[in-house]
């Protein structure tokens, strides 16, 4: 099986740097072919690129580098037939449309060849100006990507980064957006982001609700918590011994309702930098009862001092610590009758 991943990105966004990182850290042990298309248009229907050919060079990393000229589809088939790679990485021209590349790749997919990741690399400091000046091409890359990986996020003010993310979200509401500087991320974390496996707040909240609702029926279910089994077990005991009303509500729900009828989850992703003391204060405030019956809160957030804040909360107990970076900041709160606007204001997001 050959997977074809496409790394698009406007001129100078950092595609080549990202691909080098992925090759070095994410694709070890795989037979790779890197295809660089240096033209602004893909010859899906032959186009104006009359000459076809593939120039193969061996890279230091052991992957094959090709520059395609001419019929993209024919050249792609030739690469697959001759090299039988595990994965093909396509780096289109910076001014090419990602949708055109996807269309070209789709013509050669079959039971043995599949389309993998569709990535848009975007310079965080140039999102606004590029959307304004090169909308047709730039927005196509953003709108078509399954993952948007921002570059140079550590070299612009927080306000500009927040604005860039908001503009990207207007054009793509479902893609995973990576806002953390690449140097702080491992190849494995990038793969998780590309595969949609990153534990974004909403998905974490959904899994946590299901776990709370079905724990009695699935004693060995550890969904999303292989790193926190002890914490989760303590959390469950903690609810039951100190929050009898919550226990009754949970029991009532367990037999008569779906989880989403009783529990509410609020989750958000944010590139904002947070203060550790402020997070601790907010978590203690969740015990006040002002925001509903809070059962669980969890987050991984960038801190103002350059570190990352990891936290877990259950009623009357919280753990705030320093941990590893994630692809972007995320936090979620789960409970009954949540004041979502109040929670958002409490955390300042």
Q: What is the pLDDT of residues 162-219, one digit of tens each?
A: 999 999 999 999 899 999 999 999 989 999 889 876 554 555 555 555 655 665 455 4
- The dihedral region occupied by 305, where left means phi > 0, alpha psi between -120 and 50, and beta the remainder, is alpha
SS3 218: coil
**pLDDT-based confidence at residue 249 (cuts at 50, 70, 90):** very low
Is the Cβ–Cβ distance between 21 and 187 less than 8 Å? yes
Nearest Cα neighbor of 7 from 35, 40, 39 is: 35
> Which percentage of the chain shows pLDDT scores above 70?
70
Q: What is the pLDDT of residue 198?
A: 54
Give the sign of the dihedral formed by CA 302, CA 304, CA 305, CA 306: positive
Q: What is the pLDDT of residue 230?
A: 39
Would you say residue 247 has pLDDT above 70? no
**pLDDT-based confidence at residue 48 (cuts at 50, 70, 90):** very low
Provide the 8-state DSSP code for 215: T
Q: What is the pLDDT of residue 261?
A: 53
Would you say residue 57 has pLDDT above 80? no
Per 3-state DSSP, what percentage of the chain is helix, strand, and coil (rounded to 5)?
40, 25, 30
Most confident residue range from 41-45, 88-92, 175-179: 175-179
> For the ranges 93-97, 315-319, 324-328, which has the lowest average pLDDT?
93-97
Provide the 8-state DSSP code for 341: H
Distance CA 328, CA 302 (A): 8
Q: Which one is predicted more confidently, 349 or 243?
A: 349
């Amino acid at each position: 099986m050959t997977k074809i991943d496409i790394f698009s990105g406007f001129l100078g966004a950092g595609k080549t740097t990202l691909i080098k990182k992925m090759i070095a850290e994410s694709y070890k042990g795989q037979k790779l072919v890197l295809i660089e298309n240096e033209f602004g248009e893909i010859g899906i229907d032959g186009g104006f690129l009359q000459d076809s050919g593939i120039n193969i060079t061996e890279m230091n990393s052991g992957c094959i580098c090709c520059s395609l000229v001419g019929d993209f589809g024919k050249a792609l088939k030739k690469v697959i037939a001759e090299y039988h790679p595990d994965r093909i990485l396509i780096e289109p021209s910076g001014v090419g449309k990602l949708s055109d590349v996807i269309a070209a790749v789709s013509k050669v997919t079959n039971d043995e060849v599949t389309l993998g990741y569709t990535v848009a690399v975007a310079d965080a400091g140039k999102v606004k100006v590029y959307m304004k000046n090169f909308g047709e091409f730039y927005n196509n890359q953003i709108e078509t990507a399954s993952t948007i990986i921002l570059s140079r996020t550590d070299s612009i003010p927080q306000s500009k980064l927040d604005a860039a993310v908001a503009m990207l979200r207007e054009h793509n509401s479902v893609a995973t957006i990576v806002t953390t500087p690449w140097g702080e991320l491992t190849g494995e974390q990038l793969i998780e982001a590309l595969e949609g496996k990153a534990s974004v707040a909403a998905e974490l909240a959904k899994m946590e609700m299901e776990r709370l609702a079905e724990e009695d029926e699935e004693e060995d279910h550890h969904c999303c918590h292989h790193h926190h089994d002890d914490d989760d077990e303590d959390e469950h005991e903690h609810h039951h011994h100190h929050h009898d009303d919550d226990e009754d509500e949970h029991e009532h729900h367990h037999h008569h309702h779906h989880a989403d009828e009783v529990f509410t989850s609020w989750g958000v992703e944010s590139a904002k930098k947070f203060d550790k003391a402020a997070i601790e204060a907010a978590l203690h405030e969740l015990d006040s009862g002002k925001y509903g019956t809070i059962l669980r809160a969890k987050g991984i957030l960038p801190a103002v001092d350059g570190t990352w804040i990891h936290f877990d909360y259950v009623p009357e107990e919280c753990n705030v610590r320093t941990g590893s970076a994630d692809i972007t900041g995320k936090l979620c709160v789960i409970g009954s009758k949540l004041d979502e606007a109040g929670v958002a204001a409490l955390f300042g997001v």
